[in-house]
Structure 1
């Protein structure tokens, strides 16, 4: 017992040290600073591996329960965004929206296959690296799938930075001067007995869903199971009571999820993962540019077909982070509910459907091509 507590304490110390990198990038104004900064700091320390670092975690990274904890927090966070208003927002033009979500998935698969063929990385790493399912989500799932975390992290980070540094700027010019406003995601800003009870309920349901996911062999159950469990709880509550489940979302929960996952992933990095990374990064960047441009054009098409304004449509289909697209939509007075609805549905679809497909595809390739093993 004492040994386990000592290991947990050393791991926690390492997490807190690495979080300084996230704090630095966040203070510098990077919206995904907590995740990227922490991951970079943990990766650098793990590759340099001074003696004091080797005492804080084992060679293969932190204990597995830390990644599960980070995935749990992230799954609950995404599940919080789901409620009956999403269905209402999608009531108009649901078919074009569904087609475009599927199109984004197909385009990401094409990009992944291109990365696989034009670089030296393996198939599973290529697919997870190019899939726009959210930076934290894809890194968390890929960590369980045995992908090259250096490649996945770099390609996912490049895509998110590309999208979040260009799309809000473009639509801001498109829409004219804006006024900054805080984004709301359908969750409570203040702590009340009802919102605290709602958060506790979601966490309990999320843990039960994760344990069930482990039993039925769901990929990354502590992310996918918690995400689906929390989302289902909010939808069922809304259907039964005709009102949204009050849930308190402390901002520290979001930060803790990003810091924990970033540290867990970074602690697994080593120098061998970065062999021939320049070619991989270039091909990945070209794929990200192509995907972003294609989704931009698709968004304009959806706008013409459904009558949804162009800014709302562009932000809804942009392959970037949910939070940044939601904040931008609020600032530009776009339909933020629709933006969040489409972004959340895409993340849910990608995180639910693609990991089993990737695993099946990888097993099939291993059976048909012995050299791939």
Structure 2
């Protein structure tokens, strides 16, 4: 078991994250409370500031996001399940295409070894790919940097794509609907808190992927569908959760040399851009055949993190349930199939 990190560097990172969030909010960036801390702490890590990631807070704040996402679930969503079939059928094909493109970038351009190239290229969760890649003998630092850079780059790119290309408004300054701490009842607090705690425990007991997000999201969705509660968690809690998540992502670049970061971020930028081009292509196909809005289809295929993409979907006022489920399936498929695909790829030169 790793030793706990000193508190002061974590506090410094969170303070930098808060400052970054405030700046991002007042200049009108999309998803400011996560994007601001993420960018600010990335720069702080590059400048060798005395910071550390508040990783121990993440398990406590992630369920808040799950409860918030569940508050957007409505009974009408079940009538749309049939329209999701095409996305489900195309998702494995997209993953193969995106992973193949990304692998070629890391292997042919970056000259990484086959193991590091493969697990850096897989559009799955950072922690899972890091564990699998490390066990297979890959360079864990490069794998971690590749996925951290992918998440950061894709969030920034998708936010800009929505604002500049699709013209979709985002959750910047003035767009957020504030829910005060005293605006919900004691019963609301009990129900929402129970969804967070019981959902996390239930998700882990059932072995659900990303249980701290998906478990609370399921219970919160049920509670809102049946009308047991009609509000989301107080905005202050949600903002605090986003600042923590953004800070954790930014601090993943701690300890990396400038040369490593330049190369890894450069390769990740190329790989991420090509994956997003593929995502746009598949999204357009879904739009033509099934009529699902381009914004939602694009978000469903954008290979960022589940929590981050769900938050971005919420900020863009799109269907959170559709996008979240597609990302859960994406990550599940990658984790389940990556070791088997790797055995086949390793036979290649």
TM-score when scaled to structure 1? 0.66
Q: Which residue of structure 2 lines up, in the alignment, with residue 171 of structure 1?
A: 166
How far, CA to CA, are the matches of 1:205 and 1:113 in structure 2? 39
Where 1:65 maps in the other structure, the secondary structure is coil
Distance 1:144 1:36, change over 3 A: farther
Distance 1:66 1:326, change over 3 A: closer
Q: Which residue of structure 2 lines up, in the alignment, with residue 343 of structure 1?
A: 323
Where 2:230 maps in the other structure, the secondary structure is coil
Displacement after TM superposition at 1:260 (Å): 1.7
CA contact (8 A) 1:41 1:266 kept: yes
Displacement after TM superposition at 1:18 (Å): 3.6
Q: Which residue of structure 2 lines up, in the alignment, with residue 257 of structure 1?
A: 241
Instruction: Please say if 1:201 is aligned against 2:185.
Output: no
Q: Could you tell me which of 90, 111, 114 is aligned with 1:100? A: 90
Q: Pairwise mapping of residues 284-295 of structure 1 onto structure 2 (< 5 A)?
A: 284-295=268-279
Displacement after TM superposition at 1:343 (Å): 1.2
TM-score when scaled to structure 2? 0.70
How far, CA to CA, are the matches of 2:39 and 2:151 in structure 1? 13
Displacement after TM superposition at 1:96 (Å): 1.0
CA contact (8 A) 1:47 1:270 kept: yes
Instruction: Please say if 1:86 is aligned against 2:77.
Output: yes
Residues 196-244 of structure 1: per-residue CA shift (max 9 Å, x gap)? 233112112134246648xx7x77xxxx1112212332455578x4x57
Q: Pairwise mapping of residues 1-373 of structure 1 onto structure 2 (< 5 A)?
A: 8=7, 11-46=10-45, 48-49=47-48, 53=50, 61-62=52-53, 64-82=55-73, 84-91=75-82, 93-118=83-108, 119-120=110-111, 123=115, 127=119, 131=123, 138=125, 147-148=140-141, 149-172=144-167, 191-209=184-202, 212=205, 224-234=210-220, 237=223, 241=226, 243=227, 246-272=230-256, 274-308=258-292, 313=297, 317=301, 321-328=309-316, 336=318, 339-355=319-335, 357-358=337-338, 360=339
How far, CA to CA, are the matches of 2:158 and 2:53 in structure 1? 31
RMSD: 4.3
Structure 1 residues without counterparts, runs of 5 or longer:
174-179, 331-335
Displacement after TM superposition at 1:306 (Å): 2.5
Aligned residues between the structures: 323
Distance 1:244 1:261, change over 3 A: same
How far, CA to CA, are the matches of 1:310 and 1:10 in structure 2? 42
How far, CA to CA, are the matches of 1:226 and 1:247 in structure 2? 20
